[in-house]
Amino acid sequence: RERSYVPFQPRERSYVPFQPREHVVPRPGMQPENIAKWRDEFANKRAELEKKHHSFKQPFQRPLKDAMKAGTDIHVSKYKAMPVADRLKLRDDKMKENDELMKKRADIAKKFKEMRDKKAAEAHAELSKKRSRFFSRDKPKKPELVAPVVHPPGSKPKTNLPKKVLSNVPVVKRVFKPTPEEELYGDAAASFVAGIKMGLFNTDKPLEGRRKEALLDWLELLSVSLPPELGVHEVVDALRSHVDFISQGQDKLNKILEEHPLSNNFWSESCSKGRKGQGFSCGFWKLLHIMSVGLSEQRGGIELCFGVDPDDEPRVFSTLEASEVVREYMAQFFGCETCRNNFMSKFDDCSFNRCSRLEGGDPDELTIEDWREFPLWIWEFHNDVSVRVASVKNKMQKKTKSNHMVQQWPKMEDCFLCHQEDGDWDMEEVYEFLEKTYWSGTDVDTPAKALAQYERSLITTRGSRSSLQFYSGVGLLLLLAYTVKRRKVIVTGMRKHFDTTPGGGGKKA
């Protein structure tokens, strides 16, 4: 079928040019004469501003009143008045001085470069030596035989007799054998430093973000809770102030720790059990107990704020906040994976009524009983860990019988009053035993102790008042009976019940 094609034909439109309306009149104030006036005023104002800008001089362009010539002790006015020869001589002397100074700087830089190269060469040589020892396939050399020490006939081998004798003298034995308090603080300090040294860079994660905040919180908590006798406040303050520096690597951390060494870096016999270098877990539990009891005694740091400038006041922790800081430290820096997972699972499950016992919010509103819940919670957690570890050892040694009370602390021979007749713990006696064990060296009359003493005095005063009233009543009754009897004697003249009357012949009166 054929189709017919019709081309497109646009419609013709008529164009009407714009024609302004003649009846429109400009508004008042917008007349042509007004616009010309505004333009003239704007032009005059702009001309004044340009004139003022060109006449203005910058401060450094103005000559100073007491200005000195650069690099000299001569005033500018005197320098301008000097002859040209003197000026040139002054300039030459200054240039020579600058050349000598630059030469000294170059010599110093050269010496520093030589020292760095020498240190790098020594480190490379030491590394090569270690590698050669590690990859060497040669058999280790047998130690050379040393001739035994032969004592002359009739003589005895030398022994450290003076030390053994002096160690038993009551006054002198402290020089050779530390006291239990010194062992306690020494073990806790050694575990603190060892935990920081081994835990901060135990993974490939950098010390930043959440890990850095956890470290700062841990250091601030120890700063307000540990006693000064522990001897770690200097190390704690140094780590807090140089936290950005130690975050760069293990070598920076070791440098800070070497600048503030401890008096003893090893654990005592009670923790190491005769194995030198062992005892971290024992010392760390001691550190937690000291920290928890110290937080209770210092009321989270409130006691340290008295008499201190508000800008220098330490951070104050509540019991709930302190427990969360301990949890973050365990999660980020504790090396034992099994111990870490067990602690975090117990913590997150609110074991030992943690969520209801530990209080948050304003620390000023917490009572003495609320503060004591934190060290008691740490104590219960420690006993649970001791029982669990003992049960694991019994299974490994194939022992069927195990007494849980033997593994718990304190034992009955150490604290008899801590155990009640029904077998439960007396929490007040347990806390007093914890305070005596871990906070015996700082007898400070804090406001909290003064308040507790005042409350006890009120209870004692009430009891004394009631007893005083009782004895006063009894005394009044006795005085009344004596008065009645005395009056009867005066009236009758008889002092006894069967006294004879005058002329009565011994008959009953």
Q: What is the pLDDT along the chain (509 residues), one digit of tens a residue?
A: 566 666 777 666 666 666 665 655 666 666 777 888 888 898 999 888 888 776 655 554 455 555 666 666 677 778 778 888 888 888 888 888 888 989 998 999 899 899 989 988 998 888 888 777 655 544 444 444 333 444 444 444 444 545 555 555 555 555 557 788 888 999 999 999 999 988 888 776 678 888 999 999 999 999 999 998 888 899 999 999 999 999 888 889 999 999 988 887 789 888 988 887 788 999 999 999 999 999 999 888 888 887 777 777 888 999 999 999 999 999 999 988 889 999 999 999 999 999 999 988 888 889 999 999 999 999 999 999 999 888 888 888 877 666 666 678 888 888 888 988 888 899 999 999 999 999 864 444 444 555 555 555 555 555 555 667 778 888 888 888 888 887 777 777 655 554 554 444 444 43
* Amino acid symbol at 370: D
Whole-angstrom Cα distance, residue 435 to residue 379?
A: 12
Q: Which pair of structure tokens corresponds to residue 130?
A: 């270690």
Determine the Cα–Cα distance for residues 341 and 331; give it in Å rounded to an integer: 8
SS (H, E, C) 467-487: HHHHHHHHHHHHHHHHHHHHH
Instruction: Work out the end-to-end distance of the chain between its first and last CA atoms, rounded to an integer number of angstroms.
Output: 170
C-alpha 210/C-alpha 300 separation (Å) is: 23
Q: Quote helix, strand, coil % in the chain, to nearest 5.
A: 65, 0, 35
Q: Check if the beta carbon of residue 325 is closer than 8 Å to that of residue 219.
A: no
CA 433, 436, 440 angle in degrees (round to 5)?
165
Could you count the other beta carbons within 10 Å of the beta carbon of residue 488? 12
* CB-CB contact of 221 with 322 (8 Å): yes
What does the pLDDT read at residue 76?
A: 72
Phi, psi of 150 (to 5 degrees): -110, 125
Helical spans, DSSP H, in 140-279? 161-166, 173-176, 180-199, 210-225, 233-241, 243-246, 250-259, 269-272
In the chain, count of helices (H) and strands (E)? 19, 0
Question: Pick from 431, 412, 408, 417: which is nearest to 289 by CA?
Answer: 431
Using an 8 Å Cβ cutoff, are 187 and 279 in contact?
Answer: yes
Predicted confidence at residue 37, as pLDDT, reads 86
Q: What pLDDT, on a 0 to 100 scale, did the predictor assign at position 442? A: 42
- Token representation of residue 148: 């035994």
Give the C-alpha separation, 328 to 334, whole Å: 10
Q: Where are the alpha helices (DSSP H) in 334-444?
A: 337-348, 354-357, 368-396, 404-407, 427-438
Tell me how far apart the alpha carbons of residues 363 and 374 are, in angstroms, rounded to a whole number: 13
Q: Exposure string (b/e) for 385-422, b if CB count within 10 Å is 16 or more?
A: bbbeebeeeeeeeeeeeeeeeebbebeeeebeebbeee
What is the predicted pLDDT for the residue at 65? Answer: 54
Q: CA-CA distance, 326 to 219, in Å (whole number)?
A: 11
The three-class DSSP label of residue 332 is helix
Cα separation, 298 vs 228, in Å, equals 13
What does the alpha-carbon distance between residue 200 and residue 212 come to, in Å, rounded to a whole number? 9
Confirm if 440 and 181 have CB atoms less than 8 A apart: yes
The predicted model scores a pTM of 0.56
Comparing CA positions, the residue from 377, 276, 391 lying closest to residue 320 is: 377
How many residues make up the chain in this entry?
509
Angle at 217 between CA 197 and CA 360, to 5 degrees: 145
| d(C-alpha 68, C-alpha 65), whole Å | 9
> What's residue 290's pLDDT?
95
Answer for the pair 354, 345: CB distance below 8 angstroms, yes or no.
no
The first and second tokens of residue 382, run together, are 């420690």
pLDDT of 314 reads: 87
